[in-house]
Amino acid sequence: MSLMQEFTKGIIKENPLFRLVLGTCPALAVTTSVENGLGMGAAFTGVLLASNIAISLMRSIIPASVRIPAYVVIIASFVTMTDQLMHAFTPSLYKALGIFIPLIVVNCIILGRAEAFASRNSVLPSIMDALGMGLGFTIALGLVSAFREVLGAGSFLGIQILPESIPAILMILPPGGFITLGCLLALLNKLQKKYAW
Amino acid sequence: MGDIIKLGLFLMMVAAVAGLGVGYVNIKAAPLIEKQILEEKIRSFKEVYPEGDKVENETAKYLTAPDKILKEVNIAYKNGTPAGVLYLAETKGYAGPVTILAGFDQASGKITAVKVLNQTETPGLGAKAKDPAFQNRYKGKDSAVALEVSKTPPTKENQIQAITASTITSKAVTKGVNAAREHFVATFGATKQVKTGTVQ
Amino acid sequence: MLIAVISLAVMGGLFGIILGIAGKKFAVEVDPRVEELLNFMPGANCGACGMAGCGAFAEAIVAGEVNPRLCAPGGASLYEKIAAIMGTDVSSYEERKVAQLLCQGGFEQSKMLYEYKGVHDCHLALANFKGPKACNYGCVRMGNCSRVCPFGAIQMGSDGLPVINFYLCTGCNKCVVECPQQILQLVGVSRQVHVRCLNTDKGKDARPICTTACIKCKLCEKNCPEDAVHVVPFGNGTVALVDYEKCTNCGICAAKCPTKAIQKNAAISEEVLREIGIPKDEEPGCQSCGVCKPL
Amino acid sequence: MQEYLIIIVSAVLINNIVLSQFLGICPFLGVSKKLSSSLGMGGAVSFVLVLSGAITWVVRHYILVPFDIGYMQTVAFILIIASLVQFVEMVMRKFTPPLYKALGIYLPLITTNCAVLGVAIINVQKDFSFGKAMTHSLAHSAGFTLALVLMSGIRERMEDADIPESMQGTPIALVIAALMSISFLGFSGLI
């Protein structure tokens, strides 16, 4: 697979949220507003990139039987660093994401990519794969949070669109997250059936 | 036996390196985080008690027994003399703890302002407590008399109109304010009468 | 800061040793070849081989229960690696089979006896007068095969005949069993030349009812350099049949055939086979199709 | 005693780890197709959750707090959980191979199961004593297993319901989860 393919596959063909249905925990909880969703996507991409590089660099010296604890410690240290930096430099976004920054550590995608990809390929493809997956996840988060914010709070990126009375608050609550993701997946299945065989 | 040690060593090495990285970042970021928290605090104090120029945390002096609701008592000074009292109170809301900051002016004995610091109420309903519209309903209320929550627009002086469909949250905030009010009247109320001459 | 590093290092070391000891004490003898095989597998768990993911497929190969060529996305490169690890050679593996439709009687080609308005089911359509088509042996075009296919490999085409997607088809035999006319046959994926007609009536009867019927003119038999195609007795008549072992896909018979009953398809490309490795949202799971049992 | 009851009821029903806190969705969607594998998964997650609740509390209490390295919490916790899962995986492969095969890929995914780390972090945020932390972890694992079993019960019936083509599989599971979380919302005013 050429490098470009590594990058683009993460966005549509193997989009982590829509195709592999991984990383649903933060996707459902944080996407109450587009700003949170994109902020989470950015933090996630940063951590995924750093951890993919580190793991693919070390892939030859990691003994197989302790590889998962080793990967997870590396990922956790990168997340803690991001957590600290975000706490220091972007307090508003940090407050909005709350518990979900430490939970990037257990985001299934990062460990999934580390296990399935970074531990088997050299650094450059891992970088492209991380960027592709990160971008794909951020787009997916943006999409879900756009739906939820417009329907739930009647605003988009904070700008009020729908009049105050209309929004269905349910969309901001947990069930709204499930429904939005479910319908989006169904829509994508429909489209995928129509265009690809 | 050998490779068990090898596994142990390897994991130890990885953990050590991780610890090193995180520790280093923490040293760099810790002071900034402290600064953030402090700024946040001062900003909310400013909001609740605009005139005060310096705020001292004197919880130890005023809160003898650990109070179930009142967490902190801060005194706001205006060019040296204590002018306002800021209470940090935490009450049980609908879905979790609600933390509020209530400011009292020692001179007039009135509530200068109330600010909801953080809450986990249901978004769109209870979360409306942190909108200025609700918080301003406490502004200017006299501390002498206990506040009550009323669903309908307030008829009596000491009534606060509840947020629509979230009376539990409104009651929680009011309970916090009342607790602060009682403490204020008990400890500072006396000085109002005694030092009426000078403070006016 | 130093305490942080030390405490974490100690914890890491402790857990490493515990895992090491646990690894020893609870060691389960796993055939190392399974691990090795897993590295080469596409890892898409797509289920094309009929197994529950690549792990199960690797174990089945090591246990010698299954034909490695069933891994469609793996392609030739995977087969060599399996042969190397297993110490066998590639040719000894049977070729992967796909379903082939042996009928070209679409709306234009075949004459219709009556218009069928009944239930959309092949068995029922055949119940009255052997189906609406004049030809009693051809495809009745009611789509039972496409409904029964667990992998979604058969879609009904614009001319009413089922179109088989060779990249999704895993040769699970379910459509072959379902088809009341037995015109779907499992054939090796590399075979390109097929006699797409099973009409065993005499040439003069077959010609008027279907433009692409086999009229037993034996031109194919005469021109085939490998002597791979013959008009042989079949059912209560005769029809041309290709002997897939001898056939070399040269396509001379297809060129010679006056009614185009013999067709030469395009070969199936390796890349597209790998393309199939896209993980499906919902693996169809075990269809008890028996592919994993030796054929 | 009354506090313990409140913890249990609030953990299992009110803020159920899966349906209202959104933690642990990946295995929840993945494994809940069959009742047997979801029970196995529920058991494995409960075992890991309770054990990790205990160890993380001890580590935090005797290492992180006295040495004031609170920021190491995430790394330390996740190291404990990962090693614990690896240990459980080895034990299960040795002693219960059929269950190990049934769970398959989802066993290592417990490490990335947000619920396990989520509960450990909530234990810290709420500053529970050891007893409370244990009840809290046990209650949440019961909540997780309850949600998983309910879900797999419904999804097994889904097999013979005729769902539109594009909704089959994960989308319908998500919609079911939405309905379940709406019903769990009903509990939120309980305490």
Tokens of B73: 């008592």
| pLDDT for res B191 | 46
Residues of C in Cβ contact (< 8 Å) with D79? 8, 11-12, 15
What backbone phi and psi angles, to 5 degrees, belong to A105?
Answer: -55, -45
Q: Please report, for residues B155, C108, D136, the alpha-carbon distance to residue D144 in angstroms, rounded to integers and kept in the order given.
A: 49, 60, 12
CA torsion C9→C14→C16→C19, rounded to 10°? -160
Contacts of D178 in chain A (CB under 8 A): 175-179, 182
- What single DSSP character describes residue B186? I
Question: What's the pTM?
Answer: 0.66
Q: What is the mean pLDDT of chain C?
A: 78
* Chain C: closest CA distance from residue A20 (Å): 7
CA–CA gap between residue C12 and residue C55 (Å, rounded): 30
Return the residue in A19, A22, A25 with the most chain D beta carbons within 10 A, the one to mutate for interface testing. Answer: A25
- Give the D window 41-70 contacts with A, CB below 8 Å: none
Question: In the predicted model, is pLDDT for residue C273 greater than 70?
Answer: no
How much is the pLDDT for C194? 87
State phi, psi for D16 to the nearest 5 degrees.
Answer: -60, 135
pLDDT-flagged residues of chain B (< 70): 95, 120, 122-126, 165, 189-200
Residue pair D26/D41 in contact (Cβ under 8 Å)? The answer is: no
Contacts of residue C255, defined as CB under 8 A and 6 or more positions apart, other chains included, come to none
The confidence band for D139, taking pLDDT boundaries of 50, 70 and 90, is very high
- Enumerate the residues of chain B whose CB falls inside 8 A of the CB of residue A88: 29, 32-33, 36
- Position B193 scores a pLDDT of 42
Does residue C53 sit at the A interface (CB-CB below 8 Å)?
Answer: no
| CA atoms of C260 and C204, how far apart (whole Å) | 16
B2-48 and C2-25 are packed helices; what angle lies between their axes, rounded to 10 degrees? 140
**Closest to A131 in 3D by CA, of A61, A50, A17:** A50
Describe chain D by its helix, strand, coil percentages, rounded to 5.
80, 0, 20
- Chains C and D: how many Cβ contacts under 8 Å? 53
Burial (Cβ within 10 Å: 0-12, 13-18, ≥19) of residue B60: exposed
In this complex, the chains that touch D, judged by 3 or more CB pairs closer than 8 A, are: A, B, C
Contact C7 B19 (CB under 8 A): yes
Task: Please name the residues between 25 and 84 in chain A that touch chain C, using a CB distance below 8 Å.
Answer: 65-66, 69, 73
Can you tell me the mean pLDDT for D44-53?
88
What local confidence, expressed as pLDDT, does residue B187 receive?
A: 79
Q: What is the pLDDT confidence band of residue A197, given thresholds at 50, 70 and 90?
A: very low
pLDDT value, residue C270: 54
Distance spanning both ends of chain A, measured CA to CA: 22
The residue with greater pLDDT, A7 or D112, is A7
Q: What percent of chain D has pLDDT over 90?
A: 4
Task: Say whether D112 and A106 touch across the interface (CB within 8 A).
Answer: yes
Report the C-alpha gap between B165 and C75 in whole angstroms. Answer: 63
pLDDT over threshold 60, residue C281? no
Which tokens in the block code for residue A69?
């604890």
Buried-state track B85-95, b at ≥16 Cβ within 10 A, e below 16: bbbbbbbbbbb
Residue A130 in this model has a pLDDT that exceeds 50: yes
DSSP chain C: -HHHHHHHHHHHHHHHHHHHHHHHHT-----HHHHHHHHHS------TTSSSHHHHHHHHHHTT-S-GGG-TTTHHHHHHHHHHHHT--GGGSPPPEEEEE-----TTTB-BSS---S-S-HHHHHHTTT-SBS-SSS-----HHHHH-TT--EEE-TTSSEEE-TTT-----HHHHH-TT--EEEEETT--EEE-----S-HHHHHHHBTT------HHHHH-TT--EEEEEETTEEEEEE-TTT-----HHHHH-TT--EEEPPPPPHHHHHHTTSPPSS--------TTS--
- Residues β-bridged to residue C242: C229
Q: Is B80 exposed, middle or buried (0-12, 13-18, 19+ CB in 10 A)?
A: exposed
Token pair of B169 as six digits: 């949250």
User: A16-30, C41-55, D167-181: which has the minimum mean pLDDT?
Assistant: C41-55
Q: What is the mean pLDDT of residues C228-245?
A: 85
* Angle in degrees, 0-180, between the axes of helices D73-95 and D35-59, rounded to the nearest 10: 140
Query: Which phi and psi angles does B111 have, rounded to 5°?
Result: -80, 120
Residue C108 has pLDDT above 80, yes or no: yes
**Structure tokens given for A93:** 């976004």
B120 CB neighbours in chain A (<8 A) are none
Average pLDDT of the residues in A108-123: 82
Q: Are strands B159-161 and B148-150 parallel, antiparallel or unpaired?
A: parallel
pLDDT of B192 reads: 45
Distance from CA of B186 to the nearest CA of A (A): 36
pLDDT tens for C124-163 read 888 878 888 888 888 888 888 888 887 778 888 888 888 8
Question: Across the interface, do A76 and B18 touch by the CB < 8 Å criterion?
Answer: yes
Which residues in chain B (7-36) have CB-CB distances under 8 A to chain A? Answer: 7, 10-11, 14-15, 17-19, 21-22, 25-26, 28-30, 32-33, 36
Contacts of B15 in chain D (CB under 8 A): 75, 79
Q: Are A147 and D135 in contact (CB under 8 A)?
A: no
Question: Which residues between 71 and 100 in chain D have a beta carbon less than 8 angstroms from any beta carbon of chain C?
Answer: 71-72, 75-76, 79-80, 83, 86-87, 90-91, 93-94, 97
The whole-angstrom separation of Cα C97 and Cα C186 is: 6
Question: Chain D partners of B18 at a C-beta cutoff of 8 Å?
Answer: 75
Is some CB atom of chain C closer than 8 A to the CB atom of A5?
Answer: no
Per-residue pLDDT tens digits for A90-105: 777 777 776 667 767 7
| C295 pLDDT above the threshold of 60 | no
Whether A143 has a pLDDT exceeding 80, the answer reads: yes
> Residues A55, A61, A65, A67: what is their CA dihedral angle, to the nearest 10 degrees?
-10
pLDDT mean over D22-32: 78
Measured CA to CA in angstroms, residue C172 lies from A18, A107, C113, C182, D137 at distances of 29, 37, 34, 15, 47
Buried/exposed A85-115: b ≥16 CB within 10 Å, e otherwise: bbbbeebebbebbebbbbbbbbbbbbbbbbb
Q: Among D21, D79, D114, whose Cβ lies nearest the Cβ of A72? A: D79
Q: For all residues of chain A together, what is the average pLDDT?
A: 82
Q: Which residue has the higher pLDDT, D49 or C78?
A: D49
Q: What distance in Å separates the CA atoms of residue A107 and residue A96, rounded to the nearest whole number?
A: 18
Residue B98 near residue B173 (C-beta atoms within 8 A): yes
Name the band, by pLDDT with cuts 50, 70 and 90, for residue C37.
confident
**Complex ipTM:** 0.70
pLDDT above 90 as % of chain C? 0
Place of tokens 């001379």: C252
Q: Average pLDDT for residues D20-27, to the nearest whole number? A: 78
